[in-house]
Amino acid sequence: MLLKHTYSSPIGNIGLLIEDLNLISISLTNPVLKGIEAKKDPESFKYIIAQLDEYFFEGRKKFDIAFKISPTKFRLKVYQEMQKIPYGKSITYSDLAGKVGSPKAFRAVGTACGKNPLPLIIPCHRVKAQSGLGGFTGGLDIKRFLLNLERN
């Protein structure tokens, strides 16, 4: 059963979607999850909300949230490597491409970041371009906010 909740955060409302107690989506661009048939059930999101609150307000550095995603093999490698980027640090798309064994695939890494179903949990905001921030599905203001939050 799909369950949804809208979480109010310092970066705006965030849509959360779980299936069988596994987080499957965090939406920064569709916080009410319009078009997705799911039951509203705030009670099922308490553990996730507690960790998000700790991240935004208390300096939580890692998440311990059960999730389930079904990416391509390449994207799975990218997401696994992204989760190794330490809190408060960042790397470039090129560096990440090298870490997954495809040093010339920096554009594909950028695409994987853009398709990341679990931003924050899989910290794509920590991946930047050689010459600046690069992109971010939630917008560059949110990316800047998250990077600054983690620097403090």
Annotated active-site residue 113? The verdict is no
Selecting among 14, 33, 105, 124, the annotated active-site residue is 124
26: left (phi over 0), alpha (psi -120 to 50) or beta: beta
From residue 29, how far is each of 35, 96, 101, 134 by CA, in Å? 13, 25, 31, 18
Cα 24 from Cα 118, distance rounded (Å):
7
Measured at the alpha carbon of residue 37, what is the angle toward residues 33 and 40, in degrees to the nearest 5?
A: 70
Cα 3 from Cα 63, distance rounded (Å):
20
Return the number of other C-beta atoms located less than 10 Å from residue 25's C-beta: 20
Catalytic residues: 124
